[in-house]
Amino acid sequence: MKVEEEEKQYFVIDFDSTFTQVEALDILGEISLSNHPERNARLQKIKDITDLGMAGEMSLRESLIARIQLLNGNKAHLPELISRLSKLVSKSIERNSVFFNEHPENTFIISNGFKEFIVPVVTKFGIKADHVFANDMVFDEDGNIIDLNRNNVLSINGGKVKQIEALKLKGQINMIGDGYTDYEVRKAGMANNFYAYTENVEREPVKKHADHIAPSFDEILYHKKMSGALSYPKNRIKMLLLESVHPNALAKLKEEGFSVESYPAGLDEDELCEKIKGIHVLGLRSKTQVTAKVIREADKLMAMGAFCIGTNQIDTGTALEAGIPVFNAPFSNTRSVVELAIAEMISLMRGISDKNRDMHQGIWSKTAKNSFEIRGKKLGIIGYGSIGAQLSVLAENLGMDVYYYDLVEKLALGNATKCDTIEELLSIADVVSLHIDGRPENGNFFLREHFQMMKDGVIFLNLARGPVVDILALKEAILSGKVIGAGVDVFPEEPKSNNDPFTSELMGLPNTILTPHIGGSTLEAQENIADFVPRKIMDYINTGNTENSVNFPNITLPPLKDAHRLIHIHKNRPGVLAKINNTLAEFEANIVGQHLKTNETIGYVITDINKQYGKELSKAMKKIEHTIKFRMLY
């Protein structure tokens, strides 16, 4: 059917800070002024002038001429400029390159920049050269850029309005840009919509005049109900980060285009039940408890990220049943926890905490009583996972004899000795260090009888999980002298934030180091976590990869290329895969790749097809019996 003229959608796109991530004249300045004695001052002046012009506080021609005079540019600089700009195309523009190739007649570039560098960049995306309208540079005989073509309508204020008027486009005109001159087109009635483009820069004076805010080109296509590279714009995916997750994670997720809210403290169950509504991704550390009740209230939740090692604070089973993968950082803070354990062993062996307290009270208590080297002592590690194993290696290098116990068969590192029972380990060890996880069955793992099995005068560390140790039993062991030093970093009940009070039965006990759950709280560990967890979340959202998920079937997928990816999560019941493929056959979908993995609860099917299908296919896939979640990636 022929599309009527009034129904046509035209996309008129600005170049600087819209089609590209940068202002082209700023980049030209970096090139042309590379050896200039006033380089830094001129570059800053160019940026200031650009901002004044974009905000409408300086006339366009005045802004362009002022920048040309500062640039010291030459025609010889243009090839490098074009090369750089080609690498700095806005991410979502680049992601949607197919759209531009499919709609060359409907796409225009109208810019106050210069054709000399704009045309070579945009034509690589299928945009027609005669659909590019921009200023012209004027060169002298040596190729120096000395002026602009002052007869070009785009060199004056209101030039974009006049240019679009001259095109006489019939249909819906969508003006897309980051500057005041782009808004002027809408103001003059020459565009039906003005999208303030904020992927690269946000200008408040421009945003307040916009019909729509567009954090990406995906958002524009989604708003216009047109197919794009993403089936769902990332800015519409809302993320909630709790407990002061490292700012690097926040920046990384925002850079990817997601809408992120960061909250400094933990939330209790009722607070989280209210806050979780409408949230697609939840990130937290160890304090916030994500219960079955919270998950039932999560009407949009797609994934969760634990910015720590443990995930016992999350009901991963209920999350699995709801089709929500959970990711954590199993190795990112291992070194930090191990170093704290080593530091506390040495400190407790020397009684440093009590001696430090005495000194601050004016008491000089120089004595070798109950003060020992760790060299030659026997370290008993309960839980030989990534932390326990690394502690084993470092402790052995310090001259300790290492023994370990784990329910799972683990290969000994170095000269460590495996103990067959926990009783065997406790009867040997001079230092006992717990490194087990916080699964429910590990609650009250270490009880009074275990302390009684120990040698007299032992050092005890719990840097694992608060509920795994009977605190009153530990207190009794310290007061009786069975334990002559204890280091505890985790507690059965912990404050939700630094503003809440802390209490414990262990407060005030001799040679007892209490720390506020800081085992993984080093800058290095938090930076590692802030890199690892967002990458896993983004990978799942963007591609469907579930590698390293703690509760989901783990699938590592090939890159999505020239296909559409269908992600289907269902209850693990016989015959579901057949129903999926029968549905695809009904729509004549050609499958180019398919992956299935199951566990005892769910099945996870990823199907790549080579043709785009509409909402009817999605509806049909969602109606398949036992479906939990379905989504499509373009």
Residue 583 near residue 607, CB atoms below 8 Å: no
Residue 380 near residue 428, CB atoms below 8 Å: yes
- Known catalytic membership, residue 465: yes
Distance CA 74, CA 88 (A): 21
pLDDT digits (tens, 9 = 90+) for 527-558: 999 999 999 999 999 899 999 999 999 998 87
Domains and CATH numbers, the chain: 9-224 (3.40.50.1000), 234-327 (3.40.50.720), 333-514 (3.40.50.720), 555-632 (3.30.70.260)
Q: DSSP string covering 278-343, please?
A: T-SEEEE-SSS-B-HHHHHH-SS--EEEESSS--TTB-HHHHHHTT--EE--TTTTHHHHHHHHHH
Residue 591, beta-bridge partner list? 609
Specify the pTM: 0.73
Q: What's residue 439's pLDDT?
A: 79
Q: What's residue 498's pLDDT?
A: 86
Dihedral sign for Cα atoms in the order 597, 233, 315, 546: positive
* All residues at 6 or more sequence positions from 237 whose CB lies less than 8 Å from its CB, including other chains: 258, 259, 280, 281, 302, 541
Q: Each residue of 69-101: b (16+ CB within 10 Å) or e?
A: ebbbbbeebbeebbebbeebbbbbbbbbeebbe
Catalytic residue among 30, 494, 527, 595: 494
CA 98 to chain CA centroid, Å, is 26
Distance CA 374, CA 548 (A): 37
Q: Read off the tokens for 343.
A: 């530091």
Q: What's residue 56's pLDDT?
A: 66
Enter the DSSP assignment of 183: H
Residue 49 near residue 58, CB atoms below 8 Å: yes
Distance CA 253, CA 241 (A): 10
Residue 604, beta-bridge partner list? 569, 597
Q: DSSP string covering 376-430, please?
A: TPEEEEE--SHHHHHHHHHHHHTT-EEEEE-SS--PPPTT-EE-SSHHHHHHH-S
From first CA to last CA, the distance across the chain in angstroms is 25
Q: CB 4: neighbour CB atoms within 10 A?
A: 9
Catalytic residue among 186, 280, 517, 568: 517
Q: DSSP string covering 442-457, please?
A: GTT-B-HHHHHHSPTT
Distance CA 197, CA 77 (A): 28
Catalytic residue among 465, 565, 568, 570: 465
- Known catalytic membership, residue 517: yes
Regions of the chain where pLDDT drops below 70? 1-6, 54-56
Q: What's residue 470's pLDDT?
A: 96
- Known catalytic membership, residue 494: yes
